[in-house]
Structure 1
Amino acid sequence: MGHRRLKLLSANIQAGSSTRGYHDYVARSWSHVLPMGDKRGSLDAIARLAGEYDVVGLNESDPGSLRSGFTNQTHYLAQRAGFAYWSHQPNRRVGGVASSANGLLSKIEPSEVVVHSLPGRVKGRGVMVARFGQCATPLTVAVAHLSLGAGSRLAQLGFIAEVLADDPHAVLMGDFNCTVEQPEMDVLFKRTRLQPPDHRIATFPSWAPQRAIDHILVGDGLNAVHFRAFPAAFSDHLALALDLDVPERCLL
């Protein structure tokens, strides 16, 4: 039995808001809490990008609060981009008017999707774990958005390591808010079969990328090629993509 090639994308979409320079964090701060700006246009641009992929992980996808005009952005992207399957994990609420979620878009049907709350000094982070196939070692895709603080990230990565331990066909994608060289990442590489990437692609800030803080980490039973990054409309993060060769038996 051979391999199937899947195209994966990980994108922090900043709830469809536009940030084209550090000044926008102040000048356009209203767009992070109010339904203003061309968020629908940004989502349509992200949908055109996402539609070229088989499995997409999303961070900062609004699950339907005031700032998105009460639109579930993961569902909207699934419809616009032609994904048959989607799931989301609402996490943080901001000031009672904005919410944030992890999201998953897929053209292949997952056999299960499980969500976990992550530990941390400030609550509101999570990891979503999807499995594809019902064999002993199916393809596992986890989507996470980690904290800004190193101590919280260490606890979160330890939790994720327990979930993905000894899985050769695991993928972990998302906004880690740190590079793979930072000390807290060691727990992940020591306790799981996820491998440090051969390619370091800077994804933040999107207008002048300097830091590789968005990652797609792949288990040693999988082969990843063709790493690349793209603008996700006007998000402050670039989207990260790769092609993944998966043993066909993992998807049965």
Structure 2
Amino acid sequence: MIDSPATRRLRVLSANIQAGSSTRRYSDYVTRSWSHALPAGNKRGSLDVIAQLAGEHDIVGLQEADPGSLRSGFTNQTHYLAERAGFDYWTHQPNRNVARVAGSANGLLSKLEPVEVTDHALPGRISGRGVLLARFGDGREGLTVAVAHLSLGATSRRSQLSFIAELLSDHPHAVLMGDFNCVPDTPEMEVLYRHTRLRPPQFSVPTFPSWRPQRAIDHILVSADMATADARAMPAANSDHLALAMNIDVPAIALR
């Protein structure tokens, strides 16, 4: 389905950009560990490549975007990408800042104007995870887009997904995207499917590791009454995750 009087097609992208760092093999986590703390390497060049990809979409959710610490040369990477990719609206949610050396944030880029943006800290054994919510359109039928980066541990993910499910339970038109650090049929994901209108993806798209994708841990989950098409993975410059893109047919009433 493409744009009709009843729907509008949105091009959506979710990308863990690893703060513009480069990881092309497992050994890089050790040999290039300095790039996660120092403003070295071609991070600006990587961001420019990501901006080209992002600009082809209507709404982009970012994970591991540096909010302006030493390793990024004190550049707010979400803002930088918004300017380079031509997005009029952007927001970010800093979640972790290690002595201003290395920060991490969720980000949202949008060509549609949100009517409200909120952010929430997620529960977990270790703090520093969050979910960013943007609402488009008026009233209960409006579209809600959430961007999250979940924990590595299943116990923390379970509590985080329960928290997100409560946030989205009353939103009939919702999109939840991000780095979940788990496959879509893992047991802790069931709380989303039981308590919201979000549904598992029709098929899994492996996104990690980017150089040999084997695990589908980055997701764009959509409410049951919104059709999706063309789910696909593509490089986010040299990040260790591939970006995930999808077309979503949103009821026109959700964007009014």
Q: TM-score, normalised by structure 2?
A: 0.97
AA matched with 1:107: K
1:182 CA drift (Å) = 1.1
AA matched with 1:196: P
Paired position in structure 1 for 2:110: 106
SS at match of 2:146: strand
Question: Within 5 A, what are the aligned runs for 1:132-151?
Answer: 132-151=136-155
Q: 1:54 aligns with which of 40, 53, 58?
A: 58
Paired position in structure 1 for 2:16: 12
SS at match of 2:126: coil
Paired position in structure 2 for 1:250: 254
SS at match of 1:188: helix
Residues 63 and 106 of structure 2 are in contact (CA less than 8 Å); yes or no, is this contact kept in structure 1? yes
1:52 CA drift (Å) = 0.1
1:42-86 Cα offsets, whole Å, 9 max, x none, are: 000000000000000000000000000000000000000000000
Paired position in structure 2 for 1:165: 169
1:113 CA drift (Å) = 0.5
Paired position in structure 2 for 1:213: 217
SS at match of 2:25: coil
SS at match of 1:157: helix
Question: Within 5 A, what are the aligned runs for 1:1-252?
Answer: 1-94=5-98, 96-252=100-256
- What RMSD over aligned residues (CA atoms) do the two structures have, in Å? 0.8
AA matched with 2:226: L
Once residues 101 and 244 of structure 1 are traced to their aligned partners in structure 2, the CA distance between those partners, rounded to angstroms, is 25
Percent of aligned pairs with the same amino acid: 69
1:167 CA drift (Å) = 2.3
Structure 1: gaps (5+ residues)? none
Residues 143 and 174 of structure 2 are in contact (CA less than 8 Å); yes or no, is this contact kept in structure 1? yes
Residues 137 and 254 of structure 2 are in contact (CA less than 8 Å); yes or no, is this contact kept in structure 1? yes
AA matched with 1:114: T
1:108 CA drift (Å) = 0.5
AA matched with 2:84: R
Structure 2: gaps (5+ residues)? none
Once residues 95 and 25 of structure 1 are traced to their aligned partners in structure 2, the CA distance between those partners, rounded to angstroms, is 21
Once residues 187 and 84 of structure 1 are traced to their aligned partners in structure 2, the CA distance between those partners, rounded to angstroms, is 35
Following TM superposition, where does structure 1 have runs of at least 4 consecutive aligned residues deviating by more than 4 angstroms? Answer: none
SS at match of 1:189: helix
Once residues 219 and 172 of structure 2 are traced to their aligned partners in structure 1, the CA distance between those partners, rounded to angstroms, is 17
Once residues 105 and 221 of structure 1 are traced to their aligned partners in structure 2, the CA distance between those partners, rounded to angstroms, is 24
Q: TM-score, normalised by structure 1?
A: 0.98
1:96 CA drift (Å) = 4.2
1:182-207 Cα offsets, whole Å, 9 max, x none, are: 11111111111100000100000000
1:95 CA drift (Å) = 5.2
AA matched with 1:5: R
Once residues 147 and 173 of structure 1 are traced to their aligned partners in structure 2, the CA distance between those partners, rounded to angstroms, is 14
SS at match of 2:105: strand
SS at match of 2:8: strand
1:199-226 Cα offsets, whole Å, 9 max, x none, are: 1000000000010000000001211111
